[in-house]
Structure 1
Amino acid sequence: MTVIVSTDQVTPRDRHAFFADLVMQTHFRHNMNFLEGPRPFSASIASNQLGPLRINTVLSGPAHVSRTHRLFSHDPEEYVLVGLQRRGTPRVVAQDSGQEAAMRPGDMVILTSYGPYASVYTEPVEIVSVMLPRPALLVPDSDLHSLTGGVIRGDEGLARLLSPFLSRLADTAAAHTAEVGEQLARNVTDLLATLCAERLGHDRIDAETAQRALLLRIRFFINRNLADPGLSPESIARAHSISTRYLHKLFQGEGMTVSRWILRRRLEECRRELDRRGPRTPTVSSVARRWGFPHLAHFSRAFRAAYGMSPREWQERSSLPAPGVAAA
């Protein structure tokens, strides 16, 4: 469940203290100085938990935020924080190394709760922060220290996958079950370890971590191409420069074949569309074509096998008024 807290709940004069306390609850303690602007300061944080991961979407007005050695003793637990810039161009300073860099939308930065840093926002910003316990990230301390505070450009290397993934995850976190949330948390942790290895220019990740990271990339490829009727194990393997045999091996741990995974994802998207209420109800055939089913009969059989009723019956059931709601 998403928990959203906004400074709009309090008077303008109380907003600075209110937001500083909110940051402490959702992240950890910071020194915060707020910059005056033409409008009263406004900020909010939307927070979700996925397994051990805490995912926050932060909207904030101009401010200067820093984490100093003096604050470390107040937060004894050690966390790694990955910040994804969505809006605004703040400056980030890693105080141990003195590195300073401006972030652009899509860029990321790795920070820790036990390392000093500072960020300056001279304009409103939107940031996704992903926090995980330090022991969960299997990266040596020396390597993590060398990466802390350095801006990772969102259009380079593995960050091109991870940046939109984290952004999408922040938007959809509340929709996942606890089991799926745990699995997503493992995938995020694996990808972060892979990103660290890539940034350091060496391969210190084990084969299992690399396989899970590759599997996650393949799932995203499948999700992006569900509408393509030609999506197949062969086309997926070719796009990732692996053999079809190795692709099937990757999916053995998923409890289903690649083709079954594609079918399940297509049916889930179709079901979601058929659930939609509104003045313009999509036809069953248009939904089927939109999600890669060129043959309506095949779609209907697969849908009935998965959900126990035909697509049309499912749509009619979804269009009924909710209990207790009078029909117009």
Structure 2
Amino acid sequence: MQYTPHGEVTAGGSDGAPQGQILRYSVPAGLSPEEKFDHWRSWYGSAIDAPARLEKIEKSVPPGFNPTALGLDGPGFSLVDVTNDAASCHWDGVSYPSDWLLHFRSSCDKFSFSGHSEAVSAGTVRFFDLSVPGNFYASAGLSAVRLHFDRELLGLDDTSVKRLQGLADIKENPIMKGLVLPALSGWQRTGLAQEVQRLQPVVRSMMTALISSLLETPADPRDLRLARIAAVKKFVRKNFRNPALTVDEVVTYSFLSRRALYYLFEGEGLQVSAHIRALRTLEALELLAEATAWKRSLTDVAGASGFTSLQAMRRAIREFTGLSLREAQEKSEVLRIRSAELRKLTEL
């Protein structure tokens, strides 16, 4: 196998593999097409939680055979992001639970869900269990993200899991569409490996919220807290450039009272109002750092960042960086450092 580490190792996994490290797979150079396929087959069989075997579709492997993959093994969950090359795959099932959530970025002519084979369109999201024998046909370029989760961590029994596996495409579920899918689409971002321990409760909270919605069963509000925080932060990040965004707008979006919203964010680095100002400040600092910043008026920068006035931008820059607006313009290295600190503070 050939992995290219992309991130810092934070802990050792149960199988001796690094836990908390983003691992990148690529076919080694210098191999023949047949050797490339054997190498990919060996990696693939070790990357999922069940004995699975890839087989060639054609008699010979095309010269351009070049599948890729990224993996992240976290506590209680793991992610595998695969762009396949033409192959078929089959597995005989395992004697232990192996639960997955799959997001298909591209279509698949044949995929087996709980023993039933069907065509899958691009964008489909489904649950499936590798303990049930199955197979799939992957055309060149088949791309999918797989989230493996610990059913015990989510408090799921066999009946609940079977209900989830029996659901058709769930991509239109509001929590799936607005929260889980964006997370699955952006999990490879720089610096994620350093945050994997923090991610575990967030993943658990998001999955709890999704499953509670799908099965129409109540969940402990404490288990939903991090998912709600993530949803609010996502809403703020999407809208902070609009000067009309205030805490009242967030209250309306979240269906919470101002007091409940305050307590929801208690313990976070920033309360909602400060989070809005911080994102606007970061946007302003990045605009000021652009090579063409001299072409824009400061009032224009303030408006483009979501501030209602130049004075509001001045106050926010002082609040979050300790710098005056003039100092922020003149001290480029200090500005870079303060921007990095603020970016970390406002991460989802």
Same fold (TM over 0.5): yes
Correspondence for 1:194: 209
Correspondence for 2:121: 104
Distance change (3 Å), C-alpha of 1:302 and 1:21: same
- Secondary structure of the residue aligned to 1:102 is strand
Report which stretch shifted further, 301-310 or 13-22.
Answer: 301-310
Correspondence for 1:291: 305
2:253 to 212, 231, 239: 239
CA RMSD of aligned residues (A): 3.2
Provide structure 1 residue ranges, at least 5 long, that are not aligned to the other structure.
323-328
Distance change (3 Å), C-alpha of 1:121 and 1:241: same
Correspondence for 1:212: 226
CA distance in 2, matches of 1:79, 1:11: 34
- Residues 84, 108 of structure 1: 8 Å contact kept: yes
Correspondence for 1:7: 27
Distance change (3 Å), C-alpha of 1:312 and 1:50: farther
**Deviation, structure 1 residue 258:** 1.6
CA distance in 1, matches of 2:287, 2:156: 42
**Deviation, structure 1 residue 233:** 1.5
- Residues 55, 87 of structure 2: 8 Å contact kept: yes
CA distance in 1, matches of 2:139, 2:163: 27
Runs of 4+ in 1 over 4 A off after TM superposition: 49-52, 269-276, 279-284, 310-320
Report which stretch shifted further, 33-42 or 133-142.
Answer: 33-42
Correspondence for 2:343: none
Structure 2 residue 206 is the aligned partner of structure 1 residue 184: no
CA distance in 2, matches of 1:12, 1:39: 5
Structure 2 residue 54 is the aligned partner of structure 1 residue 32: yes
After superposition, the C-alpha distances for 1:110-164 in whole angstroms (9 at most, x for unaligned) are 2345343332223421111222334322222221133237443312332222453
- Residues 106, 122 of structure 2: 8 Å contact kept: yes
Distance change (3 Å), C-alpha of 1:227 and 1:41: same
After superposition, the C-alpha distances for 1:257-315 in whole angstroms (9 at most, x for unaligned) are 22012222333444455566xx6558583554333123233223322332233466556
Report which stretch shifted further, 81-90 or 34-43.
Answer: 34-43
Provide structure 2 residue ranges, at least 5 long, that are not aligned to the other structure.
1-6, 8-21, 337-348
CA distance in 2, matches of 1:177, 1:242: 33
Correspondence for 1:260: 274
Correspondence for 2:10: none
Distance change (3 Å), C-alpha of 1:138 and 1:272: farther
**Deviation, structure 1 residue 51:** 5.1
- The 5 Å alignment of 1:41-190 reads 41-49=65-73, 52-69=76-93, 72=94, 79-95=98-114, 98-148=115-165, 150-172=167-189, 174-176=190-192, 178=194, 180-190=195-205
Which amino acid counterpart does residue 27 of structure 2 have in structure 1? T
Correspondence for 1:301: 315
- TM superposition score normalised by structure 1: 0.79
- Residues 57, 127 of structure 1: 8 Å contact kept: yes
Which amino acid counterpart does residue 21 of structure 1 have in structure 2? S
CA distance in 1, matches of 2:121, 2:106: 8
Task: State the identity as a percent.
Answer: 19
- Residues 99, 149 of structure 1: 8 Å contact kept: no
